[in-house]
Structure 1
Amino acid sequence: MIRLKRWQIVVGGLALLAVVTHGYRVMTPPGWQTISTTFMKSEKPYGGGAFLLHGNEVMTLKLAGPVITFKPINERQNPDVAEPTEPWMNNASETLNRRTVSFLRGMFDGEMTRFFQQPAQDAAWWYSKDWNTIYVATGWMDYRIPVPDSGLSPHVARLWRSVDGGKTWAQLDWPDGHNVNRLHFLDSQRGYAIGWGPRVWRTMDGGRSWHEIALPPMATDPREPRRAFSSSDLGPDGVLRVAYYVPMLGRIRQSSVVYRLRWDATRFEQDVVLPDQVVVQLASSNEPPGYTYSVHALSTLGPPRNRDDRNDNARRTGALSTWSSHAQSKVEQLHTFDQRYSLDGMSVGKHGVMLVYATDATRDGAPHDLTFYSRDHGKSWDDIDDGIVQGSSFDPQTNTQYGLYAYTLKKRSF
């Protein structure tokens, strides 16, 4: 799902000489190299979106609000107070309704072309390795109408597909009310759509038809009709994994459970249990077909945040766990992260490289983005304070990370 977070990333890694000290390694952090000072500068409103680079090419899916303009000083009622040009620009419901998702493609040091734009407050996408086939799911609500007693405002979902690298798009047949917040595909024809409920659908013909999959136990809660999985991941062997928290499931109490679904199966089977954890993200290592691979879970320890408890500040110790892709594998907890860090997500790269993205909001001033990194399959870690990043991306094939600071695009290799 596309959100305005800096960690909508792919993956990457590091390799540096180090000295082990208390589980972390003292090493010279990889440095940034500036590759552009005008990245997306002509694209309004500001923002790089969920961008990806391959050579000199870039494509991005960008969620953005409308452009807000202001009257010149001599036309304002109060010269000291900024006044929007049009009345709707000062109305939060109107600006939310005018949010859009756009797909752009071009050269990173040149102009970008917008090939797709639709009204949306949230979106999800999937793209093939060659960037030829792209799926985009959009979701939109009318914030001008009163919220119904159920609290469930009407939601309009759309699903789109391009087979020419995003130049042209076709809308697929999809029910309006079926939100999609995750898209996972094995190839251009076979994949999954996951949405509120939660619900899982499978397609084998490029999205022309979909079959709903029965859910594992306790995945749904009648009190939360728009509940979502904590995370989902599609392994290189086509096994779909979903994670969710359960207060009780047989002998399992206050834990996250991970269930797996083989591509040729019609029902989920239990994979692992993560006691006293809430999963933030699942991620698999990318191994060739037929090879055993590792599955990783980034979690917070303890129960979910109690929003009704004013004393619950949501700070939790973070944890990284791993297990093998074969059935009935044993879970190993690799590392924990201090509770002052809010965990945003993770990436798994080649040759034992792992990245964890976090935010530190406990210091004075604006929150800082941090990248924790490991090059030995998560056994030891170091971190980099990235300051305030407007967007980033990671290329798993070249182990290169890209960071966007205003219009300045930087990269670092590990």
Structure 2
Amino acid sequence: MTTPAWENVSDAFMRNDKPYGGGAFRIRDSEVMTLKVTGPDTPFKPASEWKNPEIAEHTEPWMNNSGERLSRSTASFIRGTLDSGMTRYFQQQAQDGAWWYSKDWAAQYISTGWMDFTRQEPVNGLAPQITRLWRSIDGGRTWTQLKWPEDRNISYLKFLDPQRGYAIGWGPNVWRTADGGQTWQAIALPPMATDYRKPRKQFDAVDLGPDGLLRVAYYVGMLGEVRLSSVVYRLPWDKAQFEPDVVLPDQVVVRLGSTEEPPGHTYSIYALSRLGPQQTDGDQNDNGKRTGAISMWPGHRNPAVRQLQTFDERYSLTDMDVGKRGVLLVYAGDSSRRGAPHQITLYSQDYGKSWKDIDDGMTQGGWFDSLTNTQYALYAYTLRKRQF
């Protein structure tokens, strides 16, 4: 198994868009689009204007207030090409954003979540979040705000096509639309998915398979005969209730992913997990280390789960991508390494049978194109890619 090599795509990627950052970028040939959530630009005065020559001063007083800076964060949709530059077509106040786009890039949905950090924190610590939802059908150039209750958070947008999809948010809660977001139906949740003590609880992982099956994963202490395990439930598009899929004993799921297969073909689901029971905040017996694992099962009914690989506990698993023809990427930090954190990419090109790791240094963002097995990484203004 040879190590794929990086090649430079651009040395000035998003250089002219301030504040700096690539956002959740996507690339198709020379075309680029991104959903970028950033704080406001906070420039400093010239050194000659500082009252104290050793203390830099912002140009405006509000820039010294962290609540003001957080409240002025924005979510932007930006589109263009690597050669001709980028244009911002959408911008709203937000500290969080979720999005979905069609394969031809003609349709996009964006949800934004904004909190006012200039106000005093509520007694329960749960500052109100204002959620809004938008849709574009012309490639992101013009946007229509959809009707959406502002107190319903959206963490994920998962769509089969521009008309049919799901919004998933705190609670957790699941809503379904079949008319392009004009109306939404609340879906009954699987057992033990909620906790009255945690009104902003989320699923540990969510995935929408190529056949339209929505899968959600969450940890349960006890559910019938299941103990201290992650459970995965699935929801067919034409059904109103979730049904059991698999149980992953003694592990906490970090990420779900599925292979992209043609209609009628069996596809695979992969789960990235941390082994052991779920740790609670303040647990004195928790040393922060977890042995990570990746498991797989086929997308049909009553599947058997195979654990493909366990990873050294020095790797803190953060994410996973599933590609074509047996390519799997797992992202992690290395707790044994001193100094600035580096991204470690663990990869398999044979369906998880064998693995190698690469130290990719300090990246400022990335994306994996699962249709072409191409990985992109951003180093300052330099955009690189490599093929698996």
Aligned residue among 269, 279, 299 for 1:325: 299
1:51 aligns with 2:40: no
For 1:309, the equivalent position in structure 2 comes to 283
* TM-score normalised to structure 2 length: 0.98
The 5 Å alignment of 1:3-402 reads 18=1, 28-310=2-284, 312-402=286-376
| C-alpha separation in 2, matches of 1:142 and 1:354 | 40
Q: CA deviation at 1:361?
A: 4.0
Which amino acid in 2 is paired with 1:152?
Answer: L
**1:411 aligned onto 2:375:** no
| Mapped partners of 2:66, 2:275: distance in 1 | 36
1:361–1:368 Cα contact (<8 Å) kept = no
**Runs of 4+ in structure 1 displaced over 6 angstroms?**
none
Deviations 1:166-218 (A, max 9, x none): 00000000000000000100001000000000000000000000000000000
Question: Partner of 1:7 in structure 2?
Answer: none
**Alignment-mate amino acid for residue 404 of structure 1:** L
The 2-side partners of 1:267 and 1:345 are apart by 28
Residue by residue, what CA displacement relative to the aligned partner does 1:129-158 show, whole Å, maximum 9, x if unpaired? 000000001001111112212222111000
Q: TM-score, normalised by structure 1?
A: 0.92
Instruction: Tell me how far 1:407 sits from its aligned partner.
Output: 0.5
Q: Distance in 1 between matches of 2:120 and 2:335?
A: 34
> Post-superposition shift, 1:311?
5.0
Letter in 1 for 2:261: E
Distance 1:109 1:383, change over 3 A: farther
Map Cα deviations across residues 352-389 of structure 1 (whole Å, 9 max, x no partner).
11111112243111011011111111111111110001
Say how many residue pairs are matched: 388
Larger deviation, residues 308-317 vs 131-140: 308-317
Identity of aligned residues (%): 63
Q: Per the alignment, do residues 73 and 386 of structure 1 end up closer, same or farther by CA in structure 2, a change over 3 Å counting?
A: same
Query: How large is the Cα RMSD of the aligned pairs?
Result: 1.0
Shift of 1:109: 3.1
Q: Which runs of 5 or more structure 2 residues have no equivalent in the other structure?
A: none
Three-state SS of the structure 2 residue aligned to 1:368 is coil
More deviation in 354-363 or 258-267?
Answer: 354-363
Q: Distance in 2 between matches of 1:364 and 1:81?
A: 30
Measured in 2, the distance between the counterparts of 1:273 and 1:398 equals: 31
Residue 306 of structure 1 and its aligned partner are, at CA, apart by 2.6
Select the structure with the greater relative contact order (CA < 8 A; seq sep ≥ 6). 1
Secondary structure at 1:214's aligned position in 2?
Answer: coil
Deviation at 1:310, TM superposition (A): 4.5
